[in-house]
Amino acid sequence: MLEVGMRAPEFTLSDKDGKQVSLSDFAGKKVVLYFYPKDNTPGCTRQACAFGEAYPRFQTKNVVVIGVSKDPAASHQRFAEKYALPFILLSDPELTAIRDYGVWQEKKNYGKVSMGVVRTTFVIDEAGMIELVMPKVKPDTNAEELLAYLEREE
């Protein structure tokens, strides 16, 4: 797992419209990068909607919000349209960024062990360094916890 003070791994992934987006596109801005398991599942939907609702507050702080899962771009497009999500959703079917950020891990569900994305959020500073790591976040409170953190920083 990556730690505070480390350089955030660079990535280039497709957004919901198939456009290539790189972390370096946001140099000079603070980035909230959150990894989630799957579009249209209950927890992921609550988390995305909470980020969508809080998005104007992130914008006033000049913070970019990016969600990443292994779902294809077409799934992200439907997900974003269905819930009017205003932020960037990136598709990582090859698990490139997901592995680089250390969020592809063993998970246990009803006694069954499998590999999957562990819901994790990173704050990356204007210079591309990891400022905050939030492992195993709760979908319902993640956006508000981040806003509280960002407000303490000001």
At residue 54, what are phi and psi to the nearest 5 degrees?
-85, -5
More confident residue, 50 or 108: 50
* CATH entry, 12-153, from 3.40.50.300, 3.30.2270.10, 3.60.10.10, 3.40.30.10: 3.40.30.10
What's the pLDDT at 107?
A: 86
Q: Which residue has the tokens 């990356």?
A: 124
Q: Where are the domains of the chain?
A: 12-153
pLDDT surpassing 90 at residue 153: no
pLDDT tens string 27-47 = 999 999 999 999 999 999 999
pLDDT surpassing 90 at residue 130: yes
pTM above 0.75, yes or no: yes
CB contact set of 34 (below 8 Å; sequence gap of 6+): 47, 51, 65, 66, 67, 68, 119, 120, 121, 122, 137, 142
Let me know if 49 is a catalytic residue: no
What's the pLDDT at 108?
A: 83
Q: Which of 13, 31, 44, 98 is catalytic?
A: 44
CB contact set of 73 (below 8 Å; sequence gap of 6+): 14, 15, 16, 17, 18, 91
pLDDT tens string 50-90 = 999 999 999 999 999 999 999 999 999 999 999 999 999 99
